[in-house]
């Protein structure tokens, strides 16, 4: 038996590829192979004194191959000391005390003291002269490397065991089956056990073993797992017996349906995400255009101001307080609201108030203003894109079932929801909101009731602009911060507001989400640009049918 192992090792040593990854792969294979041959070997080993095999004994050997096998055996033994011991060999801290005639003591050196590897207790009366270091060669090192992987299946921590099982699932090597069987038998944690069973099923199906019934059960396990990997694994299986093949076919087609469902859900998420961006861009406009009836073509520039405020905040943080970077956006949001809001109030006081009742002139004047703001920002910051960083907590993505959700998109969805909720609260719940609605519904009557309508106009416009500024903070995370940032959103924003129905915040929400989702569902068929064109044309046609949007205001306020 031992000879066979040695020959096997020599054989595999010859084919070890030079690249490190391949090296580890081969080692894992070898580890598994060694396991197969060494388990019965250990079971019948004469060195064993009682029923419980002593996995440590081989470590004392002078033969590297025996040491390597001992490492592999130790790894799967489930012995609580296995991890520490293997780590000690790797760190050259494992020693053998050959003083006794009986089983040699295996010692872990810690500082100047020794610890008995079998018990984890401090070992007393060690004579330094009798202690020899356990030497390692490449074969042993590879065994250690592989053992650490397999050992994780028996690790104390359930998460580590699950991860190790996932790894076996991915490699789905038939050689891992006996190891998995042991691990499953020992497993207490339900989740880890499930993953191990899935790994076992994958390994079983890849190999030729198992009865039809076992294989069909394995197919069922993979079907229940239902992810892309299971599906591709099932699809890769050929030459199965008839009942198994039928089961596989049924499983793959059901998985394909599930995958389709996920991709629809993914499109919905992308759509909601795009809808939130549209909603943020349009929310301010829903106030200035929707509630006040002012066509503010400089609305996009209010968004741009918000984005540049974010940039400035991050610049200051970078130079003065780098530790605050993670919260830079939280600082930027109120500042952007203030900057754009004040800009909005100034615009209203200096320009728009002279143009009430002349919507087309307002449109032209605010367009002129947008040109000035763009060129102003270009003169100050340059025309190139400015770098706005994404905090750690917003980068990356998470997998939820078959959905990939990027944190920055999710954050924007949540942010949009908060902004809209706040806006509605202000419009409905505050005295300012009450006055705003009063002024828009009947200006003269509101004035007669003592409301200072000019102030309300200015504040309403400031509120709309400030919301646009907050949108700029969000957009700085997903778009280029350049002087042209706002221009890209102005037409879309108007479309959203008009589609939803002027003067109706809920309408704006529904319309932004509809447009976002429709856009994302059209994209796979029509491509991004054509999809957008189709949506635009559909909108133009829609406005023909319902000139006042999906949710038009009713009553006298309609006719101006």
Partner 1 sequence: MSRLSTSICIGLILVGVALMAILNLATAAGAPFHVPTYAISLVGKYLSYAILALAVDLVWGYGGILSLGHAAFFALGGYAMGMYLLREIGPRGVYGNATLPDFMVFLNYKSLPWYWNGFNHPGFAMAMAVIVPALVALIFGYFAFRSRVSGVYLSIITQALTYALLLAFFRNDMGFGGNNGMTDFKDIFGLPLQADSTRVGLLVASALALCLCLLVARYVVTSRFGQVLIAVRDSESRTRFLGYRPESYKLFVFVLSAIMAGIGGALYVPQVGIINPGEFSPANSIEAVIWVAVGGRGTLVGAVLGAVLVNAGKTFFTGAFPEFWLFALGFLFILVTLLLPKGVLGLLQKKTGGRV
Total site size for partner 1, rule CB under 8 A: 41
Q: Does residue 529 touch partner 1 according to CB under 8 A?
A: yes
For residue 115, what are the β-bridge partners?
A: 108, 122
Interaction residues for partner 1, span 247-306 (CB under 8 A): 295, 297
Comparison of 102 and 357: residue with beta carbon closer to partner 1? 357
Q: Quick one: 257 or 546, whose CB is closer to partner 1?
A: 546
Q: Which is nearer to partner 1, 95 or 289 (CB)?
A: 289
Q: Shortest approach of partner 1 to residue 543 CB, angstroms?
A: 5
Residue 514 CB coordination number (10 Å): 18
Structure tokens at 533: 């064109």
Distances (CA, A) of 255 to 171, 222, 406, 421, 504: 21, 10, 24, 39, 43
Residue 150, CA atoms < 13 Å, CB-side half-sphere: 36
Helices 528-545, 487-500: crossing angle, 10 deg rounding: 40
Which C-beta is closer to partner 1: that of 316 or that of 371?
Answer: 371
Q: In angstroms, give the least distance from the CB of 349 to partner 1.
A: 13
Residues 444-503 that bind partner 1 (CB under 8 A): 487, 491, 494-495, 498
Minimum distance, C-beta of residue 31 to partner 1, in the bound complex (Å): 54
Helix (H, G, I), strand (E, B) or coil at 508: helix
Q: Which of 541, 554, 555, 556 binds partner 1 (CB under 8 A)?
A: 541
Nearer to partner 1, 157 or 361 (CB): 361
Q: Tell me the C-alpha distance between 267 and 94, whole Å.
A: 56
In angstroms, rounded to a whole number, what is the distance separating the alpha carbons of residues 96 and 107?
Answer: 6
Nearest to 411 by CA among 482, 336, 473: 473
Pattern 365-404, partner 1, x by CB under 8 A: x-xxxxxx-xxx-xx-------------------------
**What residues between 210 and 229 interact with partner 1 by CB under 8 A?**
none
CB of 298 to partner 1, least distance (A): 10
Which of 99, 422, 434, 540 contacts partner 1 by CB under 8 A? Answer: 540
Residues 302-361 that bind partner 1 (CB under 8 A): 351, 354-355, 359-361
DSSP 166-223: HHHHHH--GGGHHHHHHHHHH---HHHHHHHHHHHHHHHHHSS-S-HHHHHHHHHHHH
Q: Which is nearer to partner 1, 13 or 361 (CB)?
A: 361
How far apart (Å, rounded) are the C-alpha atoms in residues 35 and 55? Answer: 12
Q: Which is nearer to partner 1, 63 or 383 (CB)?
A: 383
What minimum distance in Å lies between the beta carbon of 361 and partner 1?
Answer: 4
User: Alpha-carbon torsion 364, 369, 370, 372, what sign?
Assistant: positive
Residues 67 and 96: beta-carbon distance below 8 Å: no
Cβ atoms of 196 and 180 closer than 8 Å: yes
Residue from 101, 45, 97, 100 nearest 70 by CA: 45
Residue closer to partner 1 (CB basis): 66 or 496: 496
The nearer residue to partner 1, 121 or 560, going by C-beta atoms, is: 560
Region binding partner 1 by CB under 8 A among candidate stretches 121-129, 245-253, 279-287, 533-541: 533-541
Q: How far apart are CB 548 and partner 1 at their closest, in Å?
A: 8
- Lay out the site mask for partner 1 across 152-191 (x = CB under 8 A, - = otherwise): ----------------------------------------
CA 161 to CA 213: how far, in whole Å?
A: 28
Q: How far is the CB of 307 from partner 1 (least distance, A)?
A: 19
Q: How far is the CB of 348 from partner 1 (least distance, A)?
A: 14
- Min separation Cβ 388 and partner 1, Å: 24
Q: Does 551 bind partner 1 (CB under 8 A)?
A: no
Q: By C-beta, is 450 or 555 nearer to partner 1?
A: 555
Q: What is the layout of strands, in order, in the sheet containing 94-97?
A: 113-116, 105-110, 94-97, 131-133
Segment interacting with partner 1 (CB under 8 A) among 122-130, 173-181, 223-231, 540-548: 540-548
Identity of the residue, 159 or 375, whose beta carbon is nearer to partner 1 in the bound complex? 375
CB of 507 to partner 1, least distance (A): 15
Cα–Cα distances (Å) from 470 to 222, 287, 344, 394, in that order, read: 47, 14, 13, 17
Residues 6+ apart with CB under 8 A from 219: 201, 205, 234, 244, 247, 248, 251
Identify which of 417, 409, 422 has the alpha carbon closest to the alpha carbon of residue 475. Answer: 409
According to CB under 8 A, which one of 129, 547, 554, 555 is a site residue for partner 1?
Answer: 547
Beta strand 94-97 with 131-133 is: antiparallel
CB of 336 to partner 1, least distance (A): 23
Instruction: Please report how close the Cβ of residue 376 comes to partner 1 at its closest, in angstroms.
Output: 8
Looking at the Cβ atoms of 110 and 375, the one nearer to partner 1 is 375
Structure tokens at 123: 């070992």
Token pair belonging to 409:
């998109």
> In whole angstroms, how close is the CB of 397 to partner 1 at the nearest point?
29
Binding site for partner 1 (CB under 8 A): 295, 297, 351, 354-355, 359-365, 367-372, 374-376, 378-379, 487, 491, 494-495, 498, 529-530, 532-533, 536-537, 539-541, 543-545, 547
């Amino acid at each position: 038996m031992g000879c066979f192992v040695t020959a096997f090792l020599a054989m595999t040593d010859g084919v070890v590829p030079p690249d490190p990854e391949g090296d580890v792969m081969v080692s894992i294979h070898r580890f598994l192979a060694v396991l197969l041959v060494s388990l019965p070997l250990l079971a019948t080993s004469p060195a064993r004194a009682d029923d419980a095999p002593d996995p440590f004994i081989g470590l004392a050997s002078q033969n590297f191959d025996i040491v390597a096998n001992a490492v592999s055996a130790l790894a799967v033994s489930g012995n609580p000391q296995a991890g520490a011991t293997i780590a000690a060999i790797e760190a050259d801290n494992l020693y053998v005390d050959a003083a006794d005639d009986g089983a040699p003591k295996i010692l872990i050196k810690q500082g100047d003291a020794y610890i008995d590897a079998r018990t984890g207790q401090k070992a007393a009366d060690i004579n330094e002269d009798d202690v020899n270091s356990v030497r390692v060669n490449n074969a042993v090192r590879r065994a250690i490397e592989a053992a650490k992987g397999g050992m994780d299946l028996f690790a104390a921590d359930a998460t580590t065991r699950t991860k190790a099982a996932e790894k076996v699932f991915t490699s789905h090597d038939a050689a891992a089956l006996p190891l998995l069987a042991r691990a499953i038998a020992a497993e207490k944690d339900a989740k880890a056990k499930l993953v191990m069973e899935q790994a076992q099923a994958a390994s079983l199906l890849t190999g030729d073993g198992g009865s039809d019934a076992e294989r069909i059960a394995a197919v069922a396990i993979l079907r229940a797992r239902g992810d892309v990997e299971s599906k591709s694994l099932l699809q890769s299986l050929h030459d199965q017996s008839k009942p198994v093949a039928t089961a596989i076919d049924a499983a793959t087609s059901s998985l394909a349906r599930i995958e389709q469902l996920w991709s629809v859900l993914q499109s919905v998420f992308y759509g909601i995400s795009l809808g939130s961006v549209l909603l943020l861009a349009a929310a301010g406009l829903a106030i200035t255009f929707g509630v006040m009836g002012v066509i503010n073509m400089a609305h996009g520039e209010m968004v741009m101001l918000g984005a540049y405020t974010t940039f400035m905040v991050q610049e200051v943080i970078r130079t003065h307080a780098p530790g605050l970077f993670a919260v830079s956006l939280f600082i930027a949001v109120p500042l952007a609201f203030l900057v754009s809001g004040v800009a909005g109030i100034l615009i209203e006081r200096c320009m728009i108030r002279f143009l009430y009742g002349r919507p087309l002139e307002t449109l032209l004047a605010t367009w002129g203003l947008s040109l000035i703001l763009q060129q102003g920002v270009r003169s100050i910051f340059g025309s190139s894109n400015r770098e706005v960083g994404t905090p750690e907590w917003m980068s990356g993505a998470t997998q939820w079932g078959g959905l990939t959700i990027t944190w920055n998109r999710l954050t924007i969805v949540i942010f949009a929801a908060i902004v809209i909720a706040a806006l509605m609260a202000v419009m409905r719940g505050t005295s300012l909101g009450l006055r705003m609605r009063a002024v828009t519904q009947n200006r003269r009557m509101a004035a007669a009731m003592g409301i200072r309508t000019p102030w309300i106009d200015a504040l309403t416009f400031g509120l709309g602009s400030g919301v646009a500024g907050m949108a700029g903070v969000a957009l700085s995370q997903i778009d280029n911060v350049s002087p042209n940032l706002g221009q890209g959103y102005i037409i879309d924003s108007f479309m959203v507001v008009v589609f939803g129905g002027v003067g109706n915040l809920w309408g704006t929400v529904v319309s932004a989400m509809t447009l976002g989702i429709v856009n994302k569902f059209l994209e796979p068929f029509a491509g991004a640009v054509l999809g957008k064109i189709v949506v635009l044309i559909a909108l133009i046609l829609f406005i023909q049918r319902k000139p006042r949007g999906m949710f038009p205001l009713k009553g006298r306020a309609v006719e101006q």
